[in-house]
Structure 1
Amino acid sequence: MIEKLFNSITRGSLRFKWVTITLSVFLMVAGVFAFTQLNQELIPQIEFPQTIILALNPGMDADTMLNEVTMPLEEALSHIEDVVNVETTTSSGLSVTVVRNDFGLDQEEIRAQIQAVVDAIELPEGMEKPDLLTFSFSDLPLASISISSEGSSLQELKDLVEAKVVPELELIAGVAAVNISGGQELPAEEEEVAVEQSPEPTQEPTEEPTVEPTEEPPVEGEVESVAMPDSWIAAMAAQGFPITTVDQLNSMIIAGFAASAPEMLDELTPEMVLAMPVGALAALPEEFIASMSPEVQAQLMEKLASTAPPVVEEETHPSTLPAAWQAAGEAQGIPLNTVDDLTPELIQGFASFAPEMLDLLTPDNLLLMAPEVLAVLPEDYIASLDADLQAELDEIIQSAAIFIPTTTINRANGNPSLGMSIFMDKEANTVSVSHKVFEKLDELEAADPGLEFEIVFEQASFIEESISGVTREGGLGAIFAVIVILSFLSGRSNGKFKLSWRSTLVAGLSIPLSVFMAFALFKWLPVVSDPVFTPLVDATKDIAVLGGFINALATLFTSKLTLNIMTLSGMTVAVGRVVDDSIVVLENIYRHIQRGDDQRTSVLKGTRDVSIAIFASTVTTVVVFLPIGLMGGLVGEFFMPFGIAVTYALSASFLVAITIVPLLAFLFIRKEHLPPAEETRMQKIYSPILSWALGHKGATLAIAGVLLIGSVFLFGTRPQAFMPDFGDVRISTTVDLPNEYNMADTNALTLEFEEAIFDIEGIGSVLTEIGSGGGMESIFLGSAINQSAATISIGIENAELATELTAQIRQKAEKTFGVDHVVVSSGSLSSQGFGGFALVASAENFVKLVDFNDTAIQSLNDVDGLANISSNLYDTGTFLRVDGEPAIRFGGELETKDSLRVTNKAREALAEIAPAGITISEGFESQMQSEGFAQTFQAIGISIGMVYLVMVLTFNSFIYPFTILFSLPLAVIGAAVALWLSDSILGLSSMVGMMMLVGIVVTNAIVLVSRVQVNRKERGLETKAALLEAGRTRLRPILMTAIAAILALVPLAIGFSEGAIIASELAIVVIGGLTTSTFLTLLIVPVMFNILDRFSKNGKKGKEKKAA
């Protein structure tokens, strides 16, 4: 029935020649037009399935934020059905909740549910509703630009940019926002002091005072150590005090709890109180002691009296700080006796950790404070003071002209500058908007000769290079494929070598026709199919299997595709495959003409004979991508555009093969144009080898088995990573100096570091930002200035030198800033979106996590391939929780291509040493990568099943399609060898390449087995004779299609352009797998067919005997 349909289509194309030609030209032109109109971007617009809830309440301490904001949010969010992970980070005045769900769900609906939860939750009085944020690759800046001007101060430049440059850029269609950063200038006196006080380059910065409780002298009769309440342990660990027993308490800690959380004192048992050091006992509030039993009170008084020093009457000086402040200083190992000992950083610390301590300060204390210390007192605290006192303090601050930075210091390659980030609308064309922006910047520079824009980063050039590179490699692949066709179809005629240009052009035209028809589908198929599939998806979304299938089809037909490295890589990969159907059809027509059939009969019969085979081959190649759509996840989001591109191109190629190719063959190919039919040299070599293999089945299969085992071993030696590096590689240096360093100090050290690295050969642009640590503050609190933090982003000229340059820069950074105050790492776009290392330890009991932290860090440092291991445990005043449990996140840098294997080793290392009650899991980033890898294995298994089903329907048999599946292991051999020879990673790209092989390698076997079936059923040949004839007949089209596909992929595999990086490993796998599977298929498939056919016949004879 299907064969008749295809035959009717071919007949129609011959009957209505000019209609067919006109329609083909129209589709070609439409495809060219669509190609020029499609949006261009680097990678598909992947919207990560997560929502960030940002809650701000300046002045609220971390404990209150946790209990009154974060935990209620966690509880409410846990009831949303599709939420799979809730991670919260809480600090003073800030709560960040990351809500994650699976890919492929209706993100708008889930965000609406999250918004409803946020709106319904009861927040502390006066607190504004939290904001909801999302992230996708389209949120990355279109361009980052450094701005400078000769003869203008930074402030004058900033005024000019904000008044003239920003408004001009915001008028450009497609520009969503323009952000300006930098512009801070240091007063001359600040720079002079910084130069005088900064450490020498070889000297590490002064270490921050150790924040540990002081040990008090033992007291006679002191009891053994007694554990503190769990809530105390958690609170102390969150503030950077890893203590667990009451004998480690001191007066500062007790005073802090008494002032900020007096209700926690009620958790202390008499045993705990009696085990406290004397200093801690003395700080207990009188009302708390009065609430205890008389017996306990008596013991406490006795203990205090036995160690009380003689009382000396002494007049208190106005500058003397309250006893609680002195005790706090004693506990931290720093003098805090008078107001002269106070620094801005200490005031900020108390305001965050224990704001109630500020209430203990006397008016005399405040009036005697240094102006720079007064300047950082919280506004709400100042507002609570007497009006006259406020006026006096304000006068002191104003008269001192204190320097308080309001923005960051920016430099580009050592020169003072402003930073400008330009963002675009999600639906805009990256390349066209970039060109308009750069044209406008050129106009502005021409209008103001002193103004200079230096482009630090922009996406357009990389996108254009990627697209042109992949397009170029696709074009080269098409040329190679045409050369292969010409070589195989040409031959000697009457003693002369004759080139078959006509036949080659007929087959070669299928490449541009198929490709540009696919581009036309890119542009207009979603417009036509969306109204059809939208109601179907809605109607079947609750039906498990059918709903998933309809959704996958909807994705295939309604996805709005753009020109990016994934869709273009898909088209490039398809170039080698789109010509296959045309080659098989043309070669069969070719043989019929050589055999003497008339022109029309040769075309119709030649096409009809192979129509079912090429249809099955096309369908098997296409269906391998259906599991990607069904399984969803990051793999589906990232590679689905690739699969859709291949599907469109192959579907177009089949249509071309049964319409345009027969028509052109009918019009242009005659017998006199062809060399005579005769056995080729390849057939003469192949036939005896196949005959030997059929006579030595065991030896043939044993050789294949040995090769397969060896290939599995090679696979095990390859590094495993989710994605290869792509995009510009930069080295990031994150500086976090002690709080006592002001902006001038940080700037002085950063200048020294810049001077040190400018001499390193191979580095590119150096971008410095002082005042932002590049972490949570820079993401969520753009206005927050951290004077002791800086980020230096360093470009490199050769990505292959990234590891070497990172080591050199890390050495100089640690020498300048100190080992404990700087982190140096390298990464590209792939490491930002798909890389990174993170493990999470969680437990109901926070004490266990505190005890486990140092051991875990040491264990991770011992894992090869990891560096810069740290945890968030000692992030002062910060609470991390994962799915409602206290947690610690361990992070670090992967210094190896074998990232997945190293992550697994790290997880196993922690799991081995983790005490009972602690759960070790991958951080969400690592988990997403591991799951994506596992999903790809599952998709390959599903693909094999779907390919088998297609072949069962094609051959109407369960046994003979099974013989075709034996070509799949043969592809593994070549894939493994190719990855090993090219030193490539075993990653997501190569796994998708393996999936493609499932659909590609069986096509040769299908063409071979279909001929065997024709020989047996229509010509009555015995099995061995049928196999030998089919092998000789199908040898040329099999080799032609395979070699054409292989050579078409060679430019992509070599990967000269950046855009080919992702598809390069995929192409390498397909080339290797197709090479071995092609040659071994010509031997192993006939051998297995012979074996299974004999088995089938024996089974039938056995049944007949039983019946008799």
Structure 2
Amino acid sequence: MNLLTRVSLRNRALIALISVIAIGFGLIATAQMKKELFPDLQMPQAFVTTSYDGASPEAVEKEVTEPLEAALNNVAEVEKVSSVSMAGSSQVIVETKYGTSSDEIVRQLQRAVSQAQPQLPDGSEPEVFSASTADIPIAMLTVTGSDDPEALAQELDDVAVPELKRIDGVRAVDVTGAPVKEVSIEADEDKLEDEGLSPDALAGILQANGIPTSAGDLVDEGKTTPVSVGARLTSVDQIANLALPGKDEPVLLKDVATVELREADSQSISRTNGEPALSLMVMKKPDGNIVEISDAVAEKLPQLKERMSENVEFHTVFDQAPFIKQSIDDLVGEGVFGLIFAVLVILVFLLSVRATIITAISIPLSLLVTLLSLWLSGYSLNMLTLAALTISIGRVVDDSIVVIEAIRRRHAQGGTKFTSIMGAVSEVAGAITASTLTTMAVFVPMIFVSGQTGEMFRPFALTAAIALASSLLVALTIVPVLAYWFLRARESRVKLTRAQKQQIRADRKANLRQWKAERKAARKRPVSIGAPAGRHATSELPIVGESAATAAGGTAATTASGTATGGQPGSEVDELAALRSPVTRLQKTYVPFISASTKHPVITLIIAVLVLAGTVFMIPQLKTELFPDTGQDFLQVEQSFEAGSSLEESGEQAAIVEDVFDKYDEIESYQLSIGDNSMGGDAAAGTHLLNLKPGTSIKNLSAKLEDDFEDLDGAGELTIQSEGGGMSNDIEVTVTGSDTDKLATASEDIADAVRDLDEVQSVTTDLEATQPTLEVDIDRKKAAEEGLDEATVGQVVQRAMNGQQIGNVVIDNLGHRVVLHAGDVSTVGELEDLEIPVTAQAAGGAGASGTGQDGISDMGQDTGAGMMPGAPAPAPAPEPETVKLSEIAEVNRTETPAEIRHTEGQRSVTVTITPAGNDLGAASQAVQKAAADVDTPQGVTVDFGGATAEQQEAFTQMGLALLAAILITFVILVATFKSLLQPLILLVSIPFAATGSIGLSLLTDTPLGMTSMVGLLMLVGIVVTNAIVLIDLINHFRRHGVELRTAIIHGARLRYRPILMTAAATIFALVPMALGISGEGMLISKPLAIVVIGGLVSSTVLTLILVPVLYLLLESVKERRTERRVISDMTRSHVIDQAEAEAERKETAAAMAGTGSRTVGSTAADAVPASRADGAASAVDVGESASTGAAETQAKETGEPRADEAETSGPEQKPE
């Protein structure tokens, strides 16, 4: 890291140029990034929808849904299968794992459906499609003002749709609510009978025509020519002029039937503000920019209105762009306010405009680099990435604060700019790198969080990590360069008088004049080789006593000689010079507390334990949720109509609700969708989309509407499904079993049990009320005697009631159904008297739908439909014989469910509970307890899902991510401090961060949700940062031989200001977000800000008090152990010395005795007292050298020499 700073200082102009380029590209990237509410999510769902016209829900369940469920369950990636069987249609919902490729899933499901196709009824064609947030329309427009919906739809297709599709980024524009046309063939049964034809024979003839068939290739004279037989039917006239085999001669279809293109029976209702309307759904491409597309649509609407017929009006009932723009504006506003607050905090602490500007530059520069990185990575600007940027504003300035504070302190000690800056960066580079890596590392576990939480918050984690990395890079490169340019070399430690400031200005002018004069004189003198010139001149100025170049920061030669710590003799003295610095006024507010806490560590620990116990006590009081309300300004109301209601009756019931909406001024417009155009709805349910005016209180309006809905009669069941477009916090209780009656009983009992709970706002079930149904129970034996089967009889009945779809035809590039009608049945009596031709054969093997597996695409599409192409038309049938339906079947009235739902292959009922208030956890516990007390019938199981299951899974995964983040942080700290024990001291800050987070959440009534959990994850890295820079400086003093408590007090004193600055800057940068002062678009990031603010407050206080105390206790134990080891070693050495001396004495005595030499004996006698004297001296030194030996041992362990021999801190100062 020092090398990075050194290179930057030596290439200052290049660094400045790179910074300017980065700012420019960052601004370009910000302007070009696509803007959306949330990141594009590939939902882990796919849908298989199948039409089975005329079939009851039970028939659909048995013949369509169950075979599909069995096939789809065999797909490996499928985790859950559920389904809904309705009259005439089936929908199977397949849930897969998050992160699975939607295209691959669709392919696998299509293969499974193809394998199940032979088991499905003829005419049923399943369709497979996946779900994604990109499939949600970015805007929905309604068009009113025309009495002719058909003409209006055609006009929209000709004028509006092509224009809107030309907008860059638009994938499709769908017109819904328009009347559908079909080719209707009304057979005259009398004329058919006169010509010896039957409706079945007529259907067969129609299916055998209009199908071009490839007959092969004709090779003539070396040339190959493809041969095609037959031609498509492309008009009503061509169909009407089809030749049929008559009794005497061929007859035309128009002679025995009425053929016309007419409006089909309506299957849907679309109204805006109570008036019939058509809807336009605008869909974007995956890379489309929602805001730009919305703006372009808004610009085109006035032009389209001018080109449309008179009185045609366009209404916007849904548009994602305004809320996205509002959210982005709010987040930008909070960020600007946060930046201003952070800069003011820095200014208050540094009391230097220059230092504040240098530090503040790191904020926009880091953010722009982050935005550039996101743009290059293909990410969008959405609420989560913007929230990460806003949260990072306070944190990205931390590294720069520490660097600039160290540089200013070094400047005060004197020396050249280069050496002082390098020395300052060298001092703090390791600490800020470790702290930044620690904060970045806590986001690593987010990569492995699965489910919706991982998909949503992964971009958040990436954005925050890039911002932190950018801030470290800026702090180590750009901040030193700016400090070199703009910081004064030395600041006065005392307040200068006005006269002194005037003297400085006057002397500066005089020095500059003299310097210019010397430069001018130097240019006139001949330049000798090797002599310094220009800006490297060494002429001295009278005041500073050195060259102007040296005063400005040194020449290239001087700077090259600088070292990381100053490159001067006595640099170790400089390292400890801060110990003798005077105590500032700010430090005086802290020193008494740190002195008292280190003097009474046990009392401090007791207080800390009590605080921790209080935290544990607060946890059960905390509310929980899954996701907060996003604050969008629209409501969605679901209406379930009374059982058995026709489409017209459903529209009348919906009108009752629309009258309620008219009473509220807060509702700007409302749109109704019933039927197949309501994004998956049917005639039994409708959707009201309410577009609210800005500033409307969604909760208050919802409460008023619920009160009004309770007083309505004949409007079915009403549910406010979405408040403000937020993600659902509804609790789902799924009751499964094979017995329908038991399911109904159990689900009703559970609903009744939870309905009166205080924690519950509303309860709904998807148990559909039964509807009256006529079942034709065919006597198979009697039918067989007449040559009939169930499929043939069903086909005749369908043809007489609703018509039989026998194919499709393309007319004027539009596809239309071809429907054959024969007979008119409108009463039960007419149904029972319906004549069934006993000689009839099922046309083409058609089933109940009458279309046949092959008949769907005949007459207009080349798919080999109907009879074999080219086969001769059937001969005229003999005079048909008939039998009444009542003779072979019974028509019974019965009650059947309107929908049959399955979960994992079993019938199920879902009870949906909307919690009251914002405490999902309390509501879930209450609901589970109440449901557990219900005595459910045997064979019925109860499972909890919805927000309850999602919350449990999300909290579990985030809890594991939190533990992983702590472990990663610990590994980084061990690598930084090369110790296993000191990192444990730093990790103590983490639980105390939870103290402030939980306390502030309780104080502000903010539930703990997923955004809050992400805030707690961030805190793991943030709160350790301050402890790292504190412990790093204390270790620095200890390595230079400073006494333990002195090092702690002075280290904490000197780090007090940067710790307060970084914490205060982060806190005040988040205050606007926590207060939401710019608007309501901040609701999703507000809990995150509150958690981080509370955690920073508590952890900062405890870092400044508790961490030094724990360090003192740990190091005291280590010192005592070291001292005991040193004393033991010295004592052992003393005994060994005595033993060796005694042995030497004996050897000398023996030698003397052997030689008899007096001289030798005298020498030995003299040596013994000397040895003993040395031993005695060693014994005396043991007690005096214990602490010195401990310090020497520690110095050996760390690999650094002691500096207390060169200079000690002197007597311990009393910090006051």
TM-score by length of 1: 0.71
Q: Structure 1 residues 113, 1100: CA separation in 2 closer, same or farther (over 3 Å shift)?
A: farther
**Which residue matches 1:145?**
141
Letter in 2 for 1:839: V
Secondary structure of 1:89 counterpart: strand
Q: Structure 1 residues 44, 83: CA separation in 2 closer, same or farther (over 3 Å shift)?
A: same
Secondary structure of 1:841 counterpart: strand
Matched, 1:1041 2:945: no
**Deviation sequence 1:758-797 (CA, Å, 0-9, x none):** 234533323234x43x9xx84347xx6x2x7543333444
Matched, 1:948 2:944: no
Assess if the C-alpha contact under 8 Å between 1:34 and 1:519 holds in 2.
Answer: yes
Q: Tell me by how many angstroms 1:879 deviates.
A: 3.1
**Which residue matches 1:534?**
none
**Which residue matches 2:1179?**
none
Within 2, Cα distance between the matches of 1:880 and 1:1103?
A: 77
Letter in 1 for 2:386: L
Matched, 1:430 2:326: no
Letter in 2 for 1:1015: F
Q: Tell me by how many angstroms 1:429 deviates.
A: 0.9
Within 1, Cα distance between the matches of 2:63 and 2:121?
A: 11
Q: Structure 1 residues 405, 732: CA separation in 2 closer, same or farther (over 3 Å shift)?
A: farther
Assess if the C-alpha contact under 8 Å between 2:624 and 2:921 holds in 1.
Answer: yes
Assess if the C-alpha contact under 8 Å between 1:178 and 1:422 holds in 2.
Answer: yes
Q: Structure 1 residues 67, 1104: CA separation in 2 closer, same or farther (over 3 Å shift)?
A: farther
**Which residue matches 2:990?**
968
Matched, 1:646 2:464: yes
**Deviation sequence 1:402-428 (CA, Å, 0-9, x none):** 998515443333444332221111211
**Which residue matches 2:756?**
862
Within 2, Cα distance between the matches of 1:830 and 1:605?
A: 55
Q: Tell me by how many angstroms 1:1064 deviates.
A: 1.2
Q: 1:827 aligns with which of 722, 729, 735?
A: 722
Q: Structure 1 residues 657, 1102: CA separation in 2 closer, same or farther (over 3 Å shift)?
A: same
Q: 1:104 aligns with which of 99, 102, 110?
A: 99
Q: Tell me by how many angstroms 1:851 deviates.
A: 4.2
Q: 1:413 aligns with which of 258, 265, 273?
A: 273
Q: 1:679 aligns with which of 566, 578, 583?
A: 583
Within 2, Cα distance between the matches of 1:747 and 1:127?
A: 30
Q: 1:456 aligns with which of 317, 321, 326?
A: 317
Within 1, Cα distance between the matches of 2:379 and 2:1030?
A: 36
Q: Tell me by how many angstroms 1:476 deviates.
A: 1.8
Q: Tell me by how many angstroms 1:991 deviates.
A: 1.1
Matched, 1:805 2:701: yes
Secondary structure of 1:816 counterpart: coil
Q: Tell me by how many angstroms 1:647 deviates.
A: 0.7
Within 2, Cα distance between the matches of 1:65 and 1:791?
A: 25
**Which residue matches 2:601?**
697
**Which residue matches 1:518?**
370
**Deviation sequence 1:701-727 (CA, Å, 0-9, x none):** 232333333334444323211111014
Within 1, Cα distance between the matches of 2:88 and 2:148?
A: 35
Q: Structure 1 residues 744, 107: CA separation in 2 closer, same or farther (over 3 Å shift)?
A: closer
Secondary structure of 1:721 counterpart: coil
After TM superposition, list the pairs within 5 Å mapping 1:283-298 onto structure 2: none
Within 2, Cα distance between the matches of 1:105 and 1:148?
A: 42
Letter in 2 for 1:36: A
After TM superposition, list the pairs within 5 Å mapping 1:682-761 onto structure 2: 682-738=586-642, 741-760=645-664
Matched, 1:936 2:958: yes
**Which residue matches 1:343?**
none
Matched, 1:890 2:914: no
Within 2, Cα distance between the matches of 1:748 and 1:60?
A: 26
Q: 1:592 aligns with which of 391, 407, 410?
A: 410
Secondary structure of 1:890 counterpart: strand
Q: 1:837 aligns with which of 731, 734, 737?
A: 731
**Which residue matches 2:832?**
none
Secondary structure of 1:671 counterpart: coil
Within 2, Cα distance between the matches of 1:924 and 1:811?
A: 25
Within 1, Cα distance between the matches of 2:90 and 2:965?
A: 45
Q: 1:1052 aligns with which of 1049, 1068, 1073?
A: 1073
**Which residue matches 1:620?**
438
After TM superposition, list the pairs within 5 Å mapping 1:129-144 onto structure 2: 129-144=125-140
Secondary structure of 1:817 counterpart: coil
Assess if the C-alpha contact under 8 Å between 1:860 and 1:869 holds in 2.
Answer: no
Matched, 1:76 2:71: yes
Assess if the C-alpha contact under 8 Å between 1:802 and 1:826 holds in 2.
Answer: no
Assess if the C-alpha contact under 8 Å between 1:724 and 1:830 holds in 2.
Answer: no
Secondary structure of 1:51 counterpart: strand
Count the aligned residue pairs: 842
**Which residue matches 1:288?**
none
Letter in 2 for 1:1036: R
Task: Give the gaps of 5 or more residues in structure 1.
Answer: 1-5, 186-386, 388-393, 491-499, 527-559
Matched, 1:473 2:334: yes
Q: Structure 1 residues 1081, 152: CA separation in 2 closer, same or farther (over 3 Å shift)?
A: same
Within 1, Cα distance between the matches of 2:450 and 2:465?
A: 17
Q: Tell me by how many angstroms 1:506 deviates.
A: 1.2
Q: Structure 1 residues 870, 128: CA separation in 2 closer, same or farther (over 3 Å shift)?
A: closer
- Structure with more of its chain in strand, by fraction: 2
Q: Tell me by how many angstroms 1:898 deviates.
A: 1.3
**Which residue matches 1:1011?**
1033
Letter in 2 for 1:513: L
Matched, 1:1087 2:905: no
Task: Give the gaps of 5 or more residues in structure 2.
Answer: 181-246, 248-253, 495-580, 771-896, 1133-1216
**Deviation sequence 1:849-908 (CA, Å, 0-9, x none):** 354233222112233324133242656153322223333221233332112431343233
Q: 1:126 aligns with which of 117, 122, 126?
A: 122
**Deviation sequence 1:160-183 (CA, Å, 0-9, x none):** 223211222122222222222346
Within 2, Cα distance between the matches of 1:423 and 1:405?
A: 28
**Which residue matches 1:791?**
687
Q: Tell me by how many angstroms 1:830 deviates.
A: 4.8
Letter in 1 for 2:83: T
**Deviation sequence 1:6-58 (CA, Å, 0-9, x none):** 11111111111111111121122111111111111111111111211222222
**Which residue matches 2:1016?**
994
Deviates more, 1:1040-1049 or 1:405-414: 405-414
TM-score by length of 2: 0.65
Between structure 1 and structure 2, the one with the greater Rg is 2
Secondary structure of 2:632 counterpart: coil
**Which residue matches 1:765?**
669
Matched, 1:985 2:889: no
Assess if the C-alpha contact under 8 Å between 1:183 and 1:407 holds in 2.
Answer: no
Q: Structure 1 residues 1006, 916: CA separation in 2 closer, same or farther (over 3 Å shift)?
A: farther
Q: 2:381 aligns with which of 563, 571, 593?
A: 563
Within 2, Cα distance between the matches of 1:1078 and 1:885?
A: 56
Within 1, Cα distance between the matches of 2:664 and 2:129?
A: 40
**Deviation sequence 1:326-355 (CA, Å, 0-9, x none):** xxxxxxxxxxxxxxxxxxxxxxxxxxxxxx
Within 2, Cα distance between the matches of 1:1095 and 1:116?
A: 70
- Structure with more of its chain in helix, by fraction: 1
Assess if the C-alpha contact under 8 Å between 1:719 and 1:897 holds in 2.
Answer: yes
Letter in 2 for 1:682: L
Q: Tell me by how many angstroms 1:745 deviates.
A: 4.6
Assess if the C-alpha contact under 8 Å between 2:731 and 2:946 holds in 1.
Answer: no
Q: Over aligned residues, Cα RMSD in angstroms? A: 3.2
Within 2, Cα distance between the matches of 1:711 and 1:936?
A: 20
Within 2, Cα distance between the matches of 1:42 and 1:938?
A: 28
Q: Tell me by how many angstroms 1:950 deviates.
A: 0.9
Within 2, Cα distance between the matches of 1:407 and 1:109?
A: 34
**Which residue matches 1:872?**
767
Assess if the C-alpha contact under 8 Å between 1:118 and 1:129 holds in 2.
Answer: no
Q: Structure 1 residues 132, 749: CA separation in 2 closer, same or farther (over 3 Å shift)?
A: closer
Matched, 1:1071 2:1093: yes
**Deviation sequence 1:1049-1094 (CA, Å, 0-9, x none):** 1111122334322111101111111112112210011111122223
Within 1, Cα distance between the matches of 2:648 and 2:60?
A: 33
